[in-house]
Structure formats: structure tokens, C-alpha cells
Structure 1
Amino acid sequence: MINVILVEDEEYLLREMALTTPWQDLGCTLLGEAQNGREGLELIEKIRPHLVITDIRMPGMDGLTMLREADRILGPDAPWAIILTGHSDFEYARQAMRLGVKDYLLKPIDDQKFHSLVSGIAEKVETGIQRQQTRKRQDMMKESRLSLFQEYGSPVKGDGKDEYIRLSVEYIRENFSRDISLLNTAEELGITQGYLSRLFKERTGYTFLEYLTFYRLRKALKLLQNRSLKVHEIAHQTGFADHGYFIQLFRRNMGITPGQYRNGGNQENHEH
């Protein structure tokens, strides 16, 4: 859903549009109404809507001046706009197109054309929002410690020590969702915990716990793409028995919480 405000000095038309337009069906939420450009500008600054539908001729501050001021104040965050007018001269249209205006609607308004136009803009805005969220996720990955994690690749010509590491990494891949440790991995391989600890750091560049943690977090990133899974379920599936500890580790390595990552970097009140 995109957020919309209406700015129209003719009260009967403002009420009619606000009450009879099927906003939800068009992919919109109507968040505010104003009867002149100055009130409209205050609403734009306060609400930061995605779309403004405004009359072009209003007393005091007209629609174009309002949009020009919004563009000056908000810059790239200025809203898209549709203008309503009984005037169809070219100069108004030329000025309007520089201010994020996507189309004109001449009064009296044709409902079918109006609904089609609003729906089309809502779809384009939503697509843009989704692309921004995808870019944010990608940027977060590039900047995170987790992005530097490299899984161990066994050398073509390795020695016995490399075989121990290969088997250790294989053990992590097969058992990461369980409560495993350096100790039980070493016991599985038939070597001492101290020896495996030194060898693992020497050959992979990570401690055993660092490698296990990064491996689990990488798996968690993939699972977060499945919105049917709750964050606490993902924590459990990737071997983190403590949901809170999982969120803490994720934030430490990604800079945001799992819920915020899933939401494209936006703030959330709860982690589910």
C-alpha cells in the first residue's frame, strides 16, 4: 500500500473523492486531506506521502507552488503527484511535469480514468520500494563481517592435517542445526580438542566457533527469505537454541536485526 494525501479547495469534491474512491482496492491508503496549498505542504512534510493528488488552482498557495516547495524541501523524497484542473493549457502541463507530476486529470473527473491512473502509480511506487529494499539488503551484505566469510575449500594436494579440517567442515555442514562444539568434533575425529583448535585456525583463518557461527548465519540469511518462517524458528533451525542470542549475533555481524534485514533495513518494533 502507498500513502496518499488529497489537496482540493472545493470541499464537496474533496469529500466525494475521499469517501467514494476505493483506495484499498487501488493499492493506497488515504492519510490526509487539505483545502489549500499551505495546508497541503504541511501535510506533505509531516506524512511524507508517496503520492499527492492536488488541485492546481487554489487560493493562497496554488498546487504547483506547493509541489515546488515540497520538491525543494524533500529533494529526492518528494512525492509523486497527480494534478486536477479545469485548465488544460500547455504551460501548466510543462511546469507540472518538472515537479514529479505523472498526469493531468481534467474536471469533471472521470472515475474510471482516475482509478486506473492511481492504481498504475501505486504499482510503480511499490516496485520502486521493493527494488530499494533489495539494494539495501545487498549493500548491508557487502558491508558486513559476514560477507567476508569464506568457506574452507580442501586443497587439491593436501596433507593429513588438511584431511582433519575437511572432515571438521563436513561435520559442521551436516550437524550445524544441532548443539555441536569443538570438543565433540575433535572426539568424532579421534584427536584432541587443543590440536584441532590450533589446526583449524591455522588452515582456515577462523577459530572453530567463528567458522560455525558464520556458517549458521549464512544459512539463516537464506531462511529469512522465506517469510512463512518466524525468526525464532530460523534461530532453532540454524542451531541457535537461544533466540535472543541469535538476534544479538546477527546484529553484531550485520549491523541490523534479522527482522530489519527481512524488511529491507526498515525499523521494526518486534522480532518474531
Structure 2
Amino acid sequence: MKGILIVDDDLETWRNVQSIIEKSPYMDFPIRKEKTANKGLEVIKEKKPAFLLMELSLFDMDGIEFGKKAKEIHPELHVIVITHLQMFKTVLACINSGFSAYLQKPITNGELVQTLDRLHTGRLLHSVPYLETKEKPPVGEMETDLGNPIQTAIKYIHLNYQKPIQLKEVADLVYLSSSYFSRLFKEETGLNFVEYLTNYRIEKAKYLLKITTMPIETIANLTGFASSAYFATSFKRKEGQTPKEYRNMITFAETTN
């Protein structure tokens, strides 16, 4: 069903978003605006809008919890977060909750319309190769399986890729010498330790390039790269294009198909 619901108590965002929509191909979509999550849930039950544009900082309910409840009521709803927040755990929590996009304030015309375009055509990618979007940030110490040291190492990478990780650190975790761990890792994965770690970080970065409008420098930092320059070099070496070129390609493909 057509319809856009905005839930945010920031009047400036309301007006900006409404102005963008009224000048876009979605001008005929009815727009409802609410300040609270509870009022928003009532509208979703009654009207079943196509899009929910929401702030995470709501005074009557946690924004992520609100988005989850909204999708329970209306599973086909596209939840688009529009917020100032950009902490890694917040972005990851939104991805894990099945939200469709994560945009940062102040929102621009192109960002919002491109996001609506790709969601409206149903072509947003929800998964990528060996990207485990349901994984949770590590809590306390992870369990070490010394009978499967490489699988333990891979799990450690998946849980900590956003932090600096050294080969010796992971080898020590599984009680192996660095040289033996390095040989064993290459035998079991087909990649050396640094290659695997870099590739995994790039796959995570690709997903953030698709689902958010965060600056490339921020994405580099969130996915564990020491600098945006190193991120760009590593990304181009693997993908054959820069992160910016990749984002532009994805945006063009999803808005023209």
C-alpha cells in the first residue's frame, strides 16, 4: 500500500523530508507525521504504509525496539532510519533488526530519493557472501575450541573485525605458534590470515556502502581499516574500483532496473 510515515519530533526533519518527497516521483504517496512511537504503531496498524522514516532517539520508546515492533505488525514495511547517530553498534543493531536503510542527518534530496527508488523496486540486497548480518557484538570472552583452532580464529575475526587484529594475537588465542598458525590457516581457508581478514572487512564495508549514506571515511573506521586511504587501496585491489565508484554503481543499478 502506498504511504510514508515519518516518526520524529524534529520539525526541521519533518519539513525537509516532506519537501523532498513532494518534489519527487513519490509526490502522490500520502504522508503521515507523528512525534511518538506509540502513535506511529497505531498508524502502521491502521494504514499499512510502504515506508517508515524514523529517528532512533524517541522519547517514548527505544527507536530500534519501535522499528522491530513496526515490522512485526507490518512485515513488508521498509524501515528507513534517519538520524545523527553513527556508532558501530547502532548501525549493526539496525541491520540485525532487518531495517532497510540507515541515513544520516541532515538528509539530502538525492540520498532519500535514491533510497526510496531502490526499496520501491524491491531490489535492496539483504545479504552478501559470508556476511553474517545476524551476528552480535562479542560479550565477554568467546569460547575457545582448541580442537578446531582455525574455526575459532575465524569466529574471532567475525566478532572483532572492526578492531585492530594481529596474527600473533589470534595465534595466542588458540595456543599455536605464529608460524604454525599461519600455515594451518592458509591450508584450511586458501587465504593467508591478512587476506582473509581484509576480505571479510571489505564485504562488511560493501554492505554499509549499500545500506547507508555514511561517509566512506566513517565506513573505513567502522570496518577496522587503519585509514581511509588503506581502505580505498585494499578495496580497489579486490573489487577493481574505489569504494565511491562501487557505491555509485550500486545506486545506478538499483535505480535503473
Q: Which TM class, normalised by the smaller chain length? A: 0.3 to 0.5
TM-score scaled by structure 2? 0.42
More helix by share: 1
TM-score scaled by structure 1? 0.40
Taking CA–CA contacts closer than 8 Å with sequence separation of 6 or more, which of the two structures ends up with the larger relative contact order? 2
